[in-house]
Structure formats: structure tokens, C-alpha cells
Amino acid sequence: MRYDILDDEQSYLLSSLLNLTRKRVSIWDCTEYNPLSFLSSEEDDGRKTACITQIFVFHAEIKQVNFDLELSEDIDIETGKGDIFISLEKQSPADYAKIDIALSFERTYEDCPVEKMKEQFGNHIVTQFSDILIPYALETETVSSTFPWAEFNPEKNTLRKIKENRIYQLSKELFQSHRFLDFHKCVLDPLYREKLL
């Protein structure tokens, strides 16, 4: 499968790492977890956006080459559209490479309806990475150690209409019950969200 944002060398690197990950996910250490939370921001054009997000950071050393992979997934509060983003850094004494890839970087993303996201992007390479790495990471102490201090919404002035949003309410419930894998399953699958609501 070809990706809009990647050249052949980058595609080969990601595909090779994915194959290694499928065979032995334990090549990766989950080194950081940014817990499931509400996040709002203001775009350059002044437009305000709000989403629910969680972020994982992984490290692997393969044949004296270091790989750092940041994986984030989110659901937009307003549109209900999910996104998955990967930033990969490869470092060795002789080489450095960085790859950023996300579902939203693909040309077909913007026009894809929410209900078609899983069909359209379920086999995308970032989705495949997330389907393997996230269940693995959620079993680690790196994730469980965040439970005592994690806060779903540290913002003080969140609008009532956002707090009453169904995605916000569902995500808050999943946060409180530590059901982060259920959130992962919701990112591209609105039908799964409906089952949980």
C-alpha cells in the first residue's frame, strides 16, 4: 500500500518495523504515557478545536540502531472523526531519519465520513502499529503508574456544550474506569462507541 506522505525508503522502513513488531512486540519498551484526556487548542486562523487524546512513547534498539516512536490517537469532539499519528526517529552513529505520518495526512481523510473511517483506514500502517502496540503498552507499569495523578480535564473553563457532548462523556467514563483499550477501539469505529454509550 502506498501512502501520500511517504517516499519508498520511508515506506520500506515502516513496513520492516511493523513486520518485526508483529513477530515480537517486546522489542519495544513503552517509556512514556500521556493519559487519556481532553485537549483544546486554537488554530492559526483563530478556530478553536477540542479532542480526546492519548499518547504513547516507545523505544527499541535493533542491531545497534535506536528507534523512538511516538504514537497518539484522538477523536475530534465536534466532528467525531478519529485520527492516529506516528512520529518515528531512527538514530545510529552513521544515520538519522525522522518520519511523521498520520491518517489525516492522507488526501482521502478530509472527505471520508466518520462511519467509513474504519473501512477506509483500518489497514493503514499507523492503524496496524496502534492495534499491536497499544494493547501491549496498556499492560505496562508505565501506563498504570499514571493512574494516581492523571486528570481527564485539567482545564477550568470548558464550555457546558462540550461537557455535554457524548464523546466527551463517554471518554470521561472510560478514563475513570481505566478502559483505555476501549477508547482505542472507538477511534475509528463509531458503531463501537454507540455500543458503549
pTM value surpassing 0.85:
yes
Number of neighbours of residue 138 by Cβ within 10 angstroms:
19
Residue 1: the pLDDT is 54
Rounded to 5 degrees, φ, ψ at 148 are: -65, -30
Q: Which residues contact residue 11 at a Cβ distance below 8 angstroms, ignoring those fewer than 6 apart?
A: 2, 3
Q: pLDDT for 152-177, tens place per residue?
A: 999 888 999 999 999 999 999 999 99
Q: pLDDT tier at 127 (50, 70, 90 boundaries)?
A: very high
What average pLDDT does range 109-132 have in this prediction? Answer: 97
Query: Is 36 within 8 Å of 52 (Cβ atoms)?
Result: yes
